[in-house]
Structure 1
Amino acid sequence: LTLQAPLVLPETGAVQLQVSVGEADAEGRRTVEIHSRPHDLAGATTAEWAAHADGVLAVADAAPDKHDTPWPPARATSVDVSDVYDTLAEKGLVYGPVFRGLRAAWRLGDEVFAEVALPEEAANAADAFGLHPALLDAALHAIGLLQLADSEGMRLPFAWSGVSLQAVGATTLRVRIAPDGRGGATVDLFDEAGLPVARVESLTLREVSREQMAAAASAAGDESLFQVEWVPVVGDPDEAVSWAVLGDSPLAEGG
């Protein structure tokens, strides 16, 4: 799955989301495309669909093995995550309460290990998803621990390869992130018993500046739709009212 453009939600209004899945080829693979456009509550939208991502769906390979090593890993160094979201906000990435799921993290060589969890209000809805998007997003926040001092911008997910889901309804995760040898990262997600939940064989990141993120948010606001609504005014029928007629009008004759 390759991300082409961010999907930024406006502060007010809604967005229509379109997911298109193609026919299966000889190997059972299907193309998938994701588009969006502003949603006109009056049903008269003329906005064009904007492309956000495209990819390929295929039958998953065998599930990863159970993670039987001690947790956290021996000799891993604990990382303070108490101010990670404040630091990300300074770089232009502001996360709401549901998406602040990073609870603990460790480093061991080039690898990063983390624990993430959904807040109670989101955990109650976890069964509605294969993998709750806020929980997946929180798992990727651990990547940022290696970048916070690198530059003014941030490296955000750009291309996903070999994504598979082994379990559904998770509310907490153990995360292992390691270099994939091709300039990206491999992400393994496990439950508290070490059983596999999901895996990303290769995640490629792309540098995004604060200015680019601000421009994307501004563009979402530019698509706001306005409507004229007639609001009746109720007055006192016994109250005297004075009128003035400006210009030529039959109403002015005989006045």
Structure 2
Amino acid sequence: MMLADSDGALFTGRLSKGSHPWLADRAAEGAVVFPEAGFVELAIRAGDQVGCGVVEELTLEAPLVLPARGGVQVQVVVGAPEGASGVRSVRVFSRAEDAAGDGAWLRHATGLLGATVRSGADDADFGVWPPVGAVPVSVDGLYERYADAGLTYGPVFQGLKAAWRHDEELYAEVVLPEQAAKDAERFGLHPAALDAAIQSLGLLGAAPDDGSAVELRLCAEWRGVSLHATGGSALRVRLSPLGAGSVAVEIADAAGEAVASIESLTLRPLQAEELVGGGETEFPDSLYRVDWVPAVSTSTSTSASASAAAGASATAVVVDCEGLAGVVGSPDV
């Protein structure tokens, strides 16, 4: 929906474990946490609708923890063009769907969207696989090590299949399971696939057969994220250390064609207290709550229901959070 008093746009949706069961395959300290890659997908898809499909920068401020019951409302707010480059601000918010009418929204991410797509890796980088001279790195037991650190991955998110090291760079192979692969066409880049690519960071500093523990971390800062192709389910990944806890990421498909590039990704430790109370009602001790009551079959209630339905139909929902990818309707509704 384009905003009435500016050239900004508002995109809305809903997330829950019931409507998006694949999200339950990723839990931190026992809480189902929306993947950081999902915020990138939301930002890119919203940006596409206003001609700014490149994530110049995206800073994640707080995890989005899904509630045990019900869901969360999500808003992606894109600002008006700024300066000669026409970059737009982007912010992602959520609140529990059963929150009070004036319940505050929690901001999860802020950033900038642009229109200048960076070039991806050429065929020479990924055409020969695995790379010549690369040394295999065992991925056996990696998901058990993540679980020991407090991050549990279910089948949808266990896409990391192989890894190799060449000098300081790490190469990885990601393959989504069958059902997720079928759904991949609905996304720019399926969050589970991008998440699996980032999981290989747990191997970056390890010896080829090292079984050392991994740290629970949040992908906090994304810069220069460009999508070159959509719907990838089998990926080749290269991670290049940049120093200070940051890496550059190049992603190609199974044929070596560029899929996505990330100029810089920076991680920070994830604290357990950040996962407390996510997605639950903001006012747990309120005297008032939403409840269902039997409908009264009268002409008055019928008329009121029709009016309410008419009002509801005027709400433009332009981000399909069921897919986190497709956009229904038009942004200028």
TM-score (norm 1): 0.80
Q: More relative contact order in 1 or in 2 (CA 8 Å, sep 6+)?
A: 2
For residues 291 and 80 of structure 2, the distance between their equivalents in structure 1, rounded to whole angstroms, comes to 43
Contact 1:38 1:45 in 2 (8 A): no
Two-structure CA RMSD over aligned residues (Å) = 2.4
Contact 2:90 2:110 in 1 (8 A): yes
Shift of the 207–194 alpha-carbon distance from structure 1 to 2, 3 Å rule, reads same
1:31 maps to which residue? 89
Question: Share of identical aligned residues, percent?
Answer: 46
For residues 223 and 104 of structure 2, the distance between their equivalents in structure 1, rounded to whole angstroms, comes to 28
Matched residues, number: 225
Aligned to 2:124, the other structure's residue is in SS state: coil
Shift of the 221–156 alpha-carbon distance from structure 1 to 2, 3 Å rule, reads closer
Contact 2:248 2:265 in 1 (8 A): yes
Q: Which amino acid aligns with 1:223?
A: T
Note if 1:170 corresponds to 2:257.
no
Pick the aligned partner of 2:76 from 19, 22, 31. Answer: 19
Shift of the 35–221 alpha-carbon distance from structure 1 to 2, 3 Å rule, reads closer
1:134 maps to which residue? 192
Shift of the 27–152 alpha-carbon distance from structure 1 to 2, 3 Å rule, reads closer
Aligned to 2:152, the other structure's residue is in SS state: coil
Q: Which amino acid aligns with 2:109?
A: A
Q: Which amino acid aligns with 2:61?
A: Q
Q: Which amino acid aligns with 1:106?
A: W
Instruction: State the shift of 1:8 in Å.
Output: 1.0
Shift of the 152–137 alpha-carbon distance from structure 1 to 2, 3 Å rule, reads closer
Q: Which amino acid aligns with 1:127?
A: E
1:5 maps to which residue? 62
> 1:211-222 alignment to 2 at 5 Å?
212-213=271-272, 215-220=273-278, 222=280
- Greater CA drift, 59-68 or 123-132: 59-68
- Greater CA drift, 220-229 or 180-189: 220-229
The runs of 5 or more residues in structure 2 that have no matched partner are 1-57, 295-333
Note if 1:87 corresponds to 2:87.
no
Note if 1:155 corresponds to 2:211.
no
Instruction: State the shift of 1:151 in Å.
Output: 6.6
Q: Which amino acid aligns with 2:219?
A: P
Shift of the 125–221 alpha-carbon distance from structure 1 to 2, 3 Å rule, reads closer
> 1:36-185 alignment to 2 at 5 Å?
36-40=94-98, 44-69=100-125, 70-146=128-204, 153-181=215-243, 183-185=245-247
Q: Which amino acid aligns with 1:200?
A: I
For residues 290 and 205 of structure 2, the distance between their equivalents in structure 1, rounded to whole angstroms, comes to 44
For residues 108 and 178 of structure 1, the distance between their equivalents in structure 2, rounded to whole angstroms, comes to 10
For residues 181 and 90 of structure 1, the distance between their equivalents in structure 2, rounded to whole angstroms, comes to 26
For residues 192 and 55 of structure 1, the distance between their equivalents in structure 2, rounded to whole angstroms, comes to 31
Instruction: State the shift of 1:86 in Å.
Output: 1.0
Contact 2:146 2:213 in 1 (8 A): no
Instruction: State the shift of 1:46 in Å.
Output: 3.7
Instruction: State the shift of 1:47 in Å.
Output: 2.4
Shift of the 44–91 alpha-carbon distance from structure 1 to 2, 3 Å rule, reads same
Q: Which has the greater radius of gyration?
A: 1
Instruction: State the shift of 1:4 in Å.
Output: 0.5
Alignment deviations for residues 40-81 of structure 1 (CA, whole Å, 9 cap, x no partner): 2xx854421001100000013342242324211122221221
Note if 1:191 corresponds to 2:253.
yes
For residues 180 and 214 of structure 2, the distance between their equivalents in structure 1, rounded to whole angstroms, comes to 31
For residues 293 and 118 of structure 2, the distance between their equivalents in structure 1, rounded to whole angstroms, comes to 61
> 1:215-254 alignment to 2 at 5 Å?
215-220=273-278, 222-223=280-281
2:323 maps to which residue? none
Aligned to 2:194, the other structure's residue is in SS state: helix
Alignment deviations for residues 63-117 of structure 1 (CA, whole Å, 9 cap, x no partner): 2242324211122221221211111011011112211111111112211100011
The runs of 5 or more residues in structure 1 that have no matched partner are 232-255
- Greater CA drift, 127-136 or 59-68: 59-68
Shift of the 63–204 alpha-carbon distance from structure 1 to 2, 3 Å rule, reads same
